[in-house]
Amino acid sequence: MIRVDGQENGKSLIQVRGLSKTYRRGGEEIQVLQRLNLDVDKGDFVGFMGPSGSGKTTLLNLLGGLDVPTEGSITVDGDEITHMSGSKLTKWRARHVGFIFQMYNLIPVLTAYQNVELPLLLTKLSGSERRKHVETALSVVGLTDRMNHYPRQLSGGQEQRVTIARAIVSDPTFLLCDEPTGDLDRKSADEIMALIEELVARHGKTVLMVTHDPVVAARAHTTLHLEKGVLVEASKLAQGVVAGGVK
Amino acid sequence: MKFRSLIFANLFRKKIRLILTIGSFAIALVLFTFLAVVNSAFHRGIDIAGADRLVIVSRVGLMQVMPVSYGDQVRAIPGVKYVTHDHWFGGVYQDERNFFPQFVIDPENHRKVYPEFIVPDDQWNAFVKDQQGAIAGAKTAKRFGWKVGDRIPIKNTLYGPTKTWEFNLDGIYRTEKPDGDEGQFWLQWKNFDENIPDSIKEMKSTAGWYILKLDSPDDSVRVAKAIDTKFANSSYETKTETESAFAAGFAKQFGNIEFLILSVGSVVFFTLLLVTGNTMAISVRERTAELAVLKAIGVTDRSILFLVLAESMMIALFGGVLGLLLAWAAIPVISAAVTGLLPPLLLSKTMLSFGLVFAVFVGVVSGLLPGIGAMRMRVVNALRRV
């Protein structure tokens, strides 16, 4: 269940408390996020919507340990990440976060197999163990027959599937998707969303997704709206979400 | 190395750029190696100079002669073991382009002073007995296809009217070290002295310079001073110095070779840095998003630096090996083409190793700046630029 009221229930996988982020631009302070609270349980699928500049990607970056907040804390599976050093945070990301980007961001000179294998190169797995994991991940996204293809030889939807395989191959604690269908046609977008839903439903993955597309957002268990850095509205679909943002 | 496939894939991403960079690197390294070889050639005389040998020349200049009687007087100075003398012959064999240094030597003492020149005893004895005899270095003999017993005609214009001197090749010398000078040609002083025409009789009974071997190198300063004091205020004042100082002074006659080589070498070095550094900077800039993704999935900053450095080192290594192979093939050809104009050019194993180390060093330095930039890049900013 997803909550934004800051009430403890003791079983949150991701717990955000009083999260603020301020940028300084040309001597002016821009507050992107304002004292947000958020609780996400294991297996939740939450979508973040909002206009450009509302702080969706900033929130995702903070949750993924790519950026540090000005105030507040983020705890994932018991680890408080907001005060981790840069190198510790890098290792934490490798272990706990799977990233899915809008532009896929695959390495063009590596095959689908090699792209998916990349996160495993940071582990102590042997070559044969890595192969097993990569083949499993590619079979989950239905691309076993394309493993030796380069990104340029794949369609946009297939590239995004490879990105998803790369994100899940190391079995991370949760997945962060930044506009995963933003660069795809409707049919491919549907396929990708079906795949993400399957990851949640069948594999118990926890997914946090940013999107502009209401159709895509509707596929999430819960949709939260960010308006000028504040969670202002809960999705109608989210039965358990306490409405409103925390200021 | 788990990232091997990524390093190689990135390396061959832009093949034309890679070929051009490696090509530029290789050509620059050929030039650098050539300069190092020339520098080494000019210093070889200094490097192989005996620490226990002194050279006496006329205080007026190298082209001025001294009486041959100086030899006995020098030998009488305490600390002097052997004395020999040389003359510059300066003849032409068939064509002026066939230059090789010819020295008029004193067979009695030459071998004692220069034990590093090895002549088989039977050949040496034949030479000593044969007033028209000559000994050639192995390299010169090979160059002209000479063998012992051949008659060698050499035209000379320095001493009197042009005359062709004929010599019997009695022997061929070699040197102890592979990079020793095997290009000389020796003839007998007695033959030379007897054939000096009357028109330049002041050249009779003279020596161009003396070389003496000491009992101990420690005596060099004292003996040199004693010699120059002895002949001070005479018609033939002397200047005595160690063989290495003499060789260095001789090299300086060609100009400040070292400065020239250092200047050109520095330009080549910075060109290499710029060429490789520029390639790496462009390459890293093109891959900002990819590097950001690698960082996002957990590749450490240090590993990112390693990836960039590994790539620049590979470029430098490929370019370096290619450049050294080209230099290895080209330098003997160049050396043969400039025989007589420059000392023999030799590319030693030490120089090849140095070239390789130099290439790797350039690779590391040129990759450092783009690598540190990639290392410090913030993932959030890099992804925002995509």
pLDDT at B243: 85
Q: Do B290 and A118 touch (CB under 8 A)?
A: no
Is the domain of B213 the same as that of B81?
Answer: yes
Q: Which of B10, B299, B386 sits opposite A122 (nearest CB)?
A: B299
Distance CA B24, CA B359 (A): 12
Q: Which residue of A has its CA nearest to B302?
A: A87
Q: Which of A64, A95, A121 sits opposite B3 (nearest CB)?
A: A121
Task: Give the ipTM of the model, two decimals please.
Answer: 0.87
Burial class (CB in 10 A: 0-12, 13-18, 19+), B64: middle
Q: Which chain A residues touch B9 with a CB distance below 8 Å? A: 107, 109-110, 114
Is the domain of B138 the same as that of B186?
Answer: yes
pLDDT in tens, B288-344: 989 999 999 999 999 999 999 999 999 999 999 999 999 999 988 887 777 656 667
Confidence of residue A135 (pLDDT cuts 50, 70, 90): very high
Is the domain of B204 the same as that of B263?
Answer: no
* Residue at B18 is within a domain: yes
Q: Which of A94, A109, A110 sits opposite B298 (nearest CB)?
A: A94
User: Is the model's pLDDT at B219 over the cut of 70?
Assistant: yes
Q: Do B298 and A105 touch (CB under 8 A)?
A: no
A118 touches chain B (CB under 8 A): yes
Is the domain of B200 the same as that of B141?
Answer: yes
pLDDT at B340: 57
pLDDT in tens, B119-165: 999 999 999 999 999 999 998 999 999 999 999 999 988 887 888 99
Interface test with B, best of A70, A105, A159, A162 (most B CBs within 10 A): A105
Question: Mean pLDDT over residues A136-143, rounded?
Answer: 94
Low-confidence winner among B114-128, B229-243, B255-269, B307-321 (lowest mean pLDDT): B255-269
Interface test with B, best of A57, A99, A118, A126 (most B CBs within 10 A): A118
Q: Do A94 and B297 touch (CB under 8 A)?
A: yes
How close is the nearest chain A Cα to the Cα of B291, in Å?
A: 9
pLDDT at B160: 76
Confidence of residue B45 (pLDDT cuts 50, 70, 90): low
Q: Do A119 and B3 touch (CB under 8 A)?
A: no
Q: Which chain B residues touch A210 with a CB distance below 8 Å? A: none
Nearest C-alpha neighbor of B186 from the set B124, B143, B246: B124
Q: Which of A86, A87, A114 sits opposite B5 (nearest CB)?
A: A114
**What is A154-223 written as a DSSP string?**
S-HHHHHHHHHHHHHTT--SEEEEESTTTTS-HHHHHHHHHHHHHHHHTT--EEEEE-S-HHHHTTSSEE
Q: Which chain A residues touch B297 with a CB distance below 8 Å? A: 93-94, 99, 118-119, 122, 166
User: Is the model's pLDDT at A193 over the cut of 80?
Assistant: yes
Q: Which chain B residues touch A94 with a CB distance below 8 Å? A: 297-299
pLDDT in tens, A13-60: 999 999 999 988 878 888 889 999 999 999 999 999 988 888 888 999
Q: Which of B5, B301, B379 sits opposite A66 (nearest CB)?
A: B379
Is the domain of B179 the same as that of B293?
Answer: no
Using the 3D structure, point to which of B236, B271, B298 is the last residue of a domain. B236
pLDDT in tens, A199-214: 999 989 999 999 988 8
* Residue at B249 is within a domain: no
- What ranges do the domains of chain A cover? 44-55+87-234
How does the average pLDDT of chain B come out, rounded? 88
Is the domain of B86 the same as that of B214?
Answer: yes
pLDDT at B220: 87
CATH class of A44-55+87-234: alpha beta
How close is the nearest chain B Cα to the Cα of A109, in Å?
A: 6
pLDDT at B339: 64
pLDDT > 90: percent of chain A = 66
Distance CA B66, CA A90 (A): 81
Q: Which residue of A has its CA nearest to B295?
A: A90
Confidence of residue A233 (pLDDT cuts 50, 70, 90): low
Q: Which chain A residues touch B300 with a CB distance below 8 Å? A: 87, 90-91
* Residue carrying structure tokens 């939450």: A46
Distance CA B199, CA A46 (A): 112
Q: Chain A to chain B, count of Cβ pairs less than 8 Å apart? A: 63
pLDDT > 70: percent of chain B = 94
Q: Do A61 and B290 touch (CB under 8 A)?
A: no
Is the domain of B224 the same as that of B100?
Answer: yes
Is the domain of B212 the same as that of B95?
Answer: yes
* Residues 6+ positions from B187 with CB-CB distance below 8 Å: B89, B102, B103, B104, B105, B133, B134, B165, B167
Question: Mean pLDDT over residues A151-169, rounded?
Answer: 94
Q: Do A66 and B296 touch (CB under 8 A)?
A: yes
Distance CA A32, CA A61 (A): 12
pLDDT > 90: percent of chain B = 55
Nearest C-alpha neighbor of B217 from the set B238, B244, B239, B251: B244
* Residue at B250 is within a domain: no
pLDDT in tens, B14-33: 899 999 999 998 998 898 88
Question: Mean pLDDT over residues B28-39, rounded?
Answer: 87
Confidence of residue B74 (pLDDT cuts 50, 70, 90): very high
Is the domain of B179 the same as that of B327?
Answer: no
pLDDT in tens, A79-91: 999 989 988 999 9
Number of compact structural domains in chain B: 2
Q: Which residue of A has its CA nearest to B297?
A: A94
Inter-residue contact B27 to B256 (CB < 8 Å): no
pLDDT at B253: 67
Q: Do A118 and B2 touch (CB under 8 A)?
A: no
pLDDT in tens, B51-71: 689 999 999 887 889 999 999
Inter-residue contact B175 to B90 (CB < 8 Å): no
Distance CA A47, CA A102 (A): 15
Nearest C-alpha neighbor of A116 from the set A166, A78, A158, A172: A166
Inter-residue contact B319 to B359 (CB < 8 Å): yes
Q: Do A103 and B386 touch (CB under 8 A)?
A: yes
pLDDT at B46: 58
Q: Which residue of B has its CA nearest to A107?
A: B290
A131 touches chain B (CB under 8 A): no
Q: Any idea how long chain B is?
A: 386
* Residue at B89 is within a domain: yes
Low-confidence winner among A9-23, B178-192, B372-386 (lowest mean pLDDT): B372-386
Is the domain of B86 the same as that of B215?
Answer: yes
Is the domain of B14 the same as that of B101?
Answer: no
More confident residue, B102 or A239: B102
pLDDT at A54: 86
Q: Which residue of A has its CA nearest to B13?
A: A109
How close is the nearest chain A Cα to the Cα of B292, in Å?
A: 9
How close is the nearest chain B Cα to the Cα of A215, in Å?
A: 25
Burial class (CB in 10 A: 0-12, 13-18, 19+), B320: buried
A56 touches chain B (CB under 8 A): no
Is the domain of B273 the same as that of B172?
Answer: no
* Residue at B66 is within a domain: yes
pLDDT at B356: 92
pLDDT in tens, B357-375: 999 999 999 999 999 999 9
pLDDT at B41: 78
Structural domain boundaries, residue B229: 60-236
pLDDT at A100: 93
pLDDT at A53: 81
Q: Do B380 and A66 touch (CB under 8 A)?
A: yes
Q: Do B301 and A87 touch (CB under 8 A)?
A: yes
Confidence of residue A3 (pLDDT cuts 50, 70, 90): confident
